[in-house]
Chains A and B, each alone.
Chain A
């Protein structure tokens, strides 16, 4: 009996002392990582009208998963190196290949996409409706999974095309 208590005490201290090695806690949830992974994956299936050395993935406004997006910086997509940047307005975003419209800008989605409708910028958001000049990809929850809808009409108008595979995996294609 006492031996068991002793064993327990060793466990206890072992457990408490081991983590002291690191002071910084990673405080992000899988959903952030999951969404960031979706955004990254989308870029693998989109063709832009012209090739660039950099694939500029821009975030407008505040997004909960900006830190997770940052982890993809430096990766290569079809020869282009990913850069994660913040932009402050839709006009700023014209030179980006991807624009993630942050949660804080959800009210402005229509005016943002309207401004960008003639630029080859892949717009992604988590809300918005699908009109001809709306966001290209809507990332959303469906039951206990993530799902995405594609606005092919709007993407075509901006000069972007999606691979067949991505269209197949989309929940809805408009």
Chain B
């Protein structure tokens, strides 16, 4: 298993050997204490997180080793291992719930997803794609960073419940070619990947990769609720996905490009389409690219980073409604730039100043009724464009050896709503080197997106009066290192969301419309443990309790009160195998359609990896939903079904060959 630290050395200026460059912003470790150094996470090239004890957030990092150990296939599976996170799958997309908020019908617009710091959320739906639809193959991920809580003070809109940053591997980390193939039963899912990466003698680091996936899916029985129809949806659960990734880095420059094209057949007949009719699907073609520059000046006290980025998302959905053939599209094009300065020139201060601008050149939505192409009521062509810009500043002020203060503010403007302020305040107290206590306050926001604001057809009406939703979060985090191999963690939090944008039925017209709804209040508590053993074993566990309610006292839909997570990984002596076992438990969740509950459930996943059985080959066997637990998750009110049954036991065999 290769890591940054064990890269093959290469020639470099004055030394024969040197470390591989990375997109990392170089933290100055020269004044760190030994305790501090032991806390530095070295999983990836994080722009935002190096020293977890000193960051004004309860950052979680999922390393590549963990992704391999547990055999996670999608981003949502990896995120599910984190405290308080729960995903929901409607056999089309995966949705992530955090801190009690996972409202059915929310397209992950309340978390910000980034690839190497570059925003993935599109500009029509604000959607963070976290299932198979995410455009990066998980084998190419160096680490996943999750910064929970409000992140708008630095990152701008959508970071209401957190920022998920994907750090990709470097060419040096691949150092050669990799071929991967996997087969999963009973879905008859085949996948393959070819990757080449190298750091050339001239310092250029290159990574190129292509992946493909094809699944027949399951033949599931569905009850299509009030349509009165039920039956087995044969061959309607297929999925196809193609992913391409390219990355070039040299010195302070780096460039990356990713593209994904994923199509998922819809057996559920979502949007109240005609049940059991084949050929209904959702498709997303997502492209994202950026050019980054990052370097240090003035005796390393000034760090400058700049980036140019561009993104493109093409959504297409087809369905049949009352015998008529419909097609929906949503198209986003955007580009922009960000400039950031980080200065440590002033003693005890770490000042950051940034400016971001994004032009949303295209935000188009269409509806086509192939049976009535000329009927204006049954067709729609809504075009739009817009922009957003933000100016932000932050200071990390070390008041003393034990106490530091983080103050940040971002001012955002966009073409839809008025100016928004997102402040942030964190007090970090380290009474001893083993204990860190953080108190944090932050405000984050989200502007209404083009779908919520502009879309109109015969079922939905537009709402140009929508305003931003905002969230205020207060959190207390205690982190205690009992010994170098045992850490305990606890946090309590409360959040208050003002004017959340939710889909409602307009009482006058009877049409669906997005409106700013009643405030939501929530509070929760979470405890966690992280224990390692010198033999290489690690146990990570968490327990989470929360309640989230509208101001009238009504509990949020799809919001489990209690969650438990346990992840254990260890080499198995003698056998040459490594084991990864995860156990997750979720309490019941209220459904949106008839207000009943989808029952609580306990899930087990097991993954075995053999590194040394065959030279250059890594074999793994993953058994997901080990005990074949039958369970369901709530759907949104555009579905016939109240809940959707999830996959039973799945077995995946995977081989990675390196040369």
Using a CB–CB cutoff of 8 Å, the interface residues on chain A facing chain B are 1, 4-5, 7-8, 11-12, 14-16, 18-19, 21-22, 25-38, 40-42, 44-45, 62-67, 71-72, 102-104, 141-147, 165-166, 169-172
Contact = CB atoms under 8 A, between A and B. Distances in A.
B359 A41 contact: no
B21 A28 contact: yes
B51 to A, nearest CB: 10
B336 interface: yes
Nearest to B3: A141
Nearest to B28: A33
A103 B4 CA distance: 14
Given A19-B293, A141-B42, A147-B38, A63 B534 contact: no
A62 to B, nearest CB: 4
16 contacts: A1-B385, A19-B252, A26-B296, A29-B26, A30-B26, A31-B42, A33-B27, A37-B29, A42-B34, A45-B34, A62-B17, A66-B17, A67-B18, A72-B30, A169-B484, A171-B534
Contacts of B14: 67
Interface of B: 3-5, 9, 12-22, 24, 26-30, 32-35, 37-43, 45, 50, 61, 63, 65, 143, 203, 251-252, 293, 295-297, 300, 304, 306-308, 335-337, 339, 355, 357, 359, 385, 387, 389, 484-485, 532, 534, 538
Contact of B306 (A7, A19, A40, A71): A19
B9 A62 contact: yes
Nearest to A64: B17
B65 A144 contact: yes
B385 A15 contact: no
B38 A64 contact: no
A10 B8 CA distance: 41
Contacts of B27: 30, 33
Contacts of A30: 22, 24, 26-27, 29, 40, 42, 45, 50
Contacts of A37: 29-30, 32, 37
Contacts of B17: 62-64, 66, 102-104
B18 A38 contact: no
Given A19-B295, A37-B37, A29 B24 contact: yes
Nearest to B9: A64
A67 B65 contact: no
A27 B355 contact: no
Given A33-B28, A169-B38, A144 B43 contact: yes
B29 A33 contact: yes
B306 A143 contact: no
B304 A146 contact: no
B252 A25 contact: yes
Contacts of A41: 32-34, 37
B295 A11 contact: no
Contacts of A38: 34, 37
Nearest to A172: B534
Contacts of A169: 34-35, 38, 484
A29 B484 contact: no
Contacts of A166: 34
Question: Which of B29, B39, B293, B307 has the most A CB atoms < 10 Å from its CB?
Answer: B29
A83 to B, nearest CB: 17
Nearest to A67: B15
Contacts of B33: 41
Contact of A8 (B3, B39, B304, B337): B337
Contacts of B24: 29-30
B355 A11 contact: yes
Contacts of B359: 4-5, 8
Contacts of A32: 18-19
B308 A15 contact: yes
- Judged by DSSP, the binding face of A is helix
A104 B20 CA distance: 17
A142 B532 contact: yes
A38 B29 CA distance: 9
B340 to A, nearest CB: 10
Closest 6 CB pairs of A and B: A15-B306, A37-B29, A25-B251, A144-B43, A29-B19, A32-B19
Contacts of B9: 62, 64, 103
Nearest to B170: A29
A21 B15 CA distance: 25
A14 B339 contact: yes
Contact of B337 (A15, A66, A71, A172): A15
Contacts of B485: 171
Nearest to B355: A11
Nearest to B18: A64
A30 to B, nearest CB: 5
B484 A64 contact: no
B5 A31 contact: yes
Contact of A28 (B5, B18, B143, B339): B18
Contacts of B12: 27
B21 A29 contact: yes
A145 B40 contact: yes
A11 B396 CA distance: 26
A8 B534 CA distance: 52
Nearest to A9: B337
Contacts of B16: 62, 104
A8 B385 CA distance: 15
Contacts of B484: 147, 169-171
B337 A12 contact: yes
A11 B339 contact: yes
B364 to A, nearest CB: 16
Nearest to B61: A144
A35 B381 CA distance: 58
Question: Which of B16, B19, B251, B252 has the most A CB atoms < 10 Å from its CB?
Answer: B19
Contact of A71 (B20, B30, B50): B30
Nearest to A45: B34
Given A30-B29, A37-B32, A62-B16, 4 more contacts: A31-B4, A31-B5, A67-B15, A145-B39
A44 B15 CA distance: 26
Contacts of A142: 532, 534
Contacts of A172: 534
Question: Which of B27, B355, B484, B538 has the most A CB atoms < 10 Å from its CB?
Answer: B484
Question: Which of A64, A72, A171 has the most B CB atoms < 10 Å from its CB?
Answer: A64
A147 B39 CA distance: 9
A143 B538 contact: yes
Contacts of B39: 145
Nearest to B35: A169
B360 to A, nearest CB: 10
Nearest to B14: A67
Contacts of B296: 26
A141 to B, nearest CB: 6
A38 B42 CA distance: 14
A31 to B, nearest CB: 5
A126 to B, nearest CB: 8
A80 B38 CA distance: 25
Given A15-B308, A67-B14, A143 B63 contact: yes
Contacts of B339: 11, 14-15
A45 B252 CA distance: 36
